[in-house]
A and B are shown apart, each in its own frame.
Chain A
Amino acid sequence: MILEVTNLRVSFRSERGLVRVLDGVSFTVDEGEVLGIVGESGSGKTMTVLAVMGLITDPNAVIEGSIKFRGRELVGMKPREMRQLRGKDIAMIFQDPMTALTPVYTIGWQIAEQILTHQKVSKAQAWQRAIDLLAEVGIPKPEEAVHRYPHQLSGGMRQRAVIAMALTCNPALLVADEPTTALDVTVQAQILDLLRKLQATHGSAIIFITHDLGVMAELADRIMVMYAGRVVERATRDALFADPKHPYTLALLNSIPPLEGERPHRLQTIAGAPPSLMNLPKGCAFGPRCSRKFAACEDRPTLTSPPHETACFLIGAK
């Protein structure tokens, strides 16, 4: 087990009181495993990984619970120690490659900067490593590409450069926050292939965030579904796609257009909108939008025990 998150709660102090964006999130990631996190915007998936990275810089944020990386507690860790882990043992790939790179430096410079921060090597060695990494992520003519500025590369190439940067120190854990969302569909497939290939060669564990279940089906070993800052379902990929238990997961799967059979007249949508975190319903957060709501849902459901964990009263009530 490389990462163990227990009862993570993140809240923000605001004028209208404490807003809890993550409520009791627990999960683990094993060595070399790909954990997918799915959920709508605002479900807390990005907040979860930002907390793991120690990148919640807002002074009004309150982080409680425990995040253990290889047994070391990250919550409350000194910034200096955290910096040594970040970029070296835990690396992150961001959603939008257009804005994730500093516009005024060449990509070679930015990759070398990270190498020089964490490893005692000469500048020339760092540059050589940058070239090797760019070659590894499939950027053509890497010895020329290192001298390119971000704006001179296409979106796909930039995301490759960002991935190369994340891989500089062979991180044990790679956090990918919707790395394909901002890209064209064809490029998405290439980036997913690349990630799968790199995962095989580098052996990093990956936390992969997306709202695209199709992407999830390609890459993830296990999938965790989040809703309104809580985990609602967690299972292996095959179990989740074959037998989704939570009505929310079911609704998400139903909103994917089927490839075979008769085309539905209209795609199914989930009625209503995600609840405001300021003012969550008392019981199950999905209750107001759930078609199968019943009396028990006035209480808050807890996750059932593994392997197929679900936070829904329907499971016991069947």
Chain B
Amino acid sequence: MIFAIMQRLSQMLFVMFGISLLVFLIFFGTPGVDPAARIAGRNASPEVLAAVRKSFGFDQPFYVQYLTMMKKIFVTGDLTSFVNRGWKVVPAVLDTVPVTLSLVIGAAILWVVFSLIIGVTAAAYRDRWPDKLLMILGLIGVSMPVYWLGEVMNLITQSRFHDSWLFSWVPPLGYKNFSDDPKGWFLTLVIPWITLSILYIGLYGRVLRASITEALQEDYIRTARAKGLSETRILLRHALRTSLIAFVTLFGLDFGALVGGSALLTEVVFGLQGVGKLTFDALQNLDLPVIMTTVLYASFFVVLANAVVDVIYILLDPRVRTS
């Protein structure tokens, strides 16, 4: 077990190293790309360029620049932005992490619970009207883009119906710290949670329905019927249980990606200063230290989520345990 965890950790380090190197080379090593010229601005004189180069350390060899940057991110934590000099990047990213985690974890709870309900119900009533209705609703959920849905939600809850009894509780956009104001934290996040989860509820509900229906064709389901078990028990303890493996795989990938910044659109629409928003802003003015830090952070979460999925696999599927 310890060996497996160590193996996982070293894999994680290797992936993060590869990604950081790649990002670094894209920005510094691509032929014809001169970061100093970008920082110095248009029509900068050669003297200014040289000064910038020296001041930012671009005159040093690549590996020194790379190692310095890694040291500043992981050891001293004093990496500063190229755009706002003096703005420390690592604390800035760490500030955005709770926002993104709050958003994504809340949405994940919603989508897991509701997609389980929808998938199991649809599979139980397969090919009858509840199934068809739920699958159409799921398809609608999958088809609605988050930026559009978010704006519509805002229009309804913040503007048109804000004064009605239904939505008067919705606070203005923005994020409130859980430690300062737990109730405010919860209320501001309810609408973003729903918005972000709708797509995934539809997607996961459909995937789960398909994999349960497939499992119900298996021989062991016939054995379970021959044993005289009730249909509910067959569905939940036999068909659903074996279908969860596909569900968990999908969840690991999506959760990691969302925590790593894919919740950008939701964050922008609801004015949440999360990791996605920070990366987006940094990309707009090519602020490399910020991009590097958020990319490393994102890759950490993707790899971590996959490691967690592997552990859940071991719990779910005994066949993985022995091999």
Interface, chain A (partner B; CB < 8 A): 53, 55, 57, 59, 79, 83-88, 91-92, 94, 96, 99-104, 106, 113-114, 117-118, 149, 151-152, 162, 165
With an 8 A cutoff between CB atoms, is B71 at the interface? no
Show 26 residue pairs from A and B whose CB-CB distance is below 8 angstroms, ordered by the A residue: A53-B226, A83-B229, A84-B228, A85-B228, A87-B229, A88-B228, A91-B226, A92-B226, A94-B222, A99-B220, A100-B219, A100-B220, A100-B223, A101-B220, A102-B238, A103-B318, A103-B319, A106-B318, A113-B227, A113-B237, A114-B227, A114-B228, A117-B228, A151-B318, A151-B322, A165-B223
Residues on A with C-beta less than 8 A from B218 are 99
A104 touches B242 (CB 8 A): yes
Cross-chain contact of B225 among A57, A113, A118 (Cβ < 8 A) = A57
Min CB–CB distance B233 → chain A (angstroms): 8
Complex formed: what's the CA distance from A162 to B223 in Å? 9
Beyond A86-B228, A149-B319, 18 additional pairs, beta carbon < 8 A: A55-B226, A83-B228, A83-B229, A83-B230, A84-B228, A86-B225, A87-B228, A91-B226, A92-B223, A92-B226, A100-B223, A101-B220, A103-B220, A104-B241, A113-B227, A113-B229, A118-B228, A152-B322
A55-B222 contact given A103-B318, A149-B319, A151-B319, CB 8 Å threshold? yes
Complex formed: what's the CA distance from A251 to B237 in Å? 47
Complex formed: what's the CA distance from A79 to B229 in Å? 11
Residue with the highest number of chain A CB atoms closer than 10 Å, among B218, B226, B228, B242:
B226
Complex formed: what's the CA distance from A88 to B225 in Å? 12
Min CB–CB distance B98 → chain A (angstroms): 36
B226 touches A87 (CB 8 A): yes
A117 touches B222 (CB 8 A): no
Residue with the highest number of chain B CB atoms closer than 10 Å, among A88, A102, A118, A162:
A102
Q: B323 — nearest CB in chain A belongs to which residue? A: A151
Residues on B with C-beta less than 8 A from A151 are 318-319, 322
Min CB–CB distance A220 → chain B (angstroms): 22
B224 touches A102 (CB 8 A): yes
A94 touches B223 (CB 8 A): yes
With an 8 A cutoff between CB atoms, is B316 at the interface? yes
C-beta contact mask, B294-323 vs A, less than 8 Å → 1, else 0? 000000000000000000000011110010
Min CB–CB distance B314 → chain A (angstroms): 12
B318 touches A104 (CB 8 A): yes
Min CB–CB distance B247 → chain A (angstroms): 14
Residues on B with C-beta less than 8 A from A99 are 218-220
Q: B319 — nearest CB in chain A belongs to which residue? A: A151
Cross-chain contact of A94 among B219, B237, B318, B322 (Cβ < 8 A) = B219
Cross-chain contact of A101 among B223, B237, B317, B319 (Cβ < 8 A) = B223
Complex formed: what's the CA distance from A91 to B229 in Å? 12
- Chain B stretch 215-266: residues in CB contact (< 8 A) with chain A: 218-220, 222-231, 237-238, 241-242
Residues on A with C-beta less than 8 A from B241 are 102, 104
Residues on A with C-beta less than 8 A from B227 are 86-87, 113-114, 117, 165
Complex formed: what's the CA distance from A165 to B226 in Å? 10
C-beta contact mask, B57-87 vs A, less than 8 Å → 1, else 0? 0000000000000000000000000000000
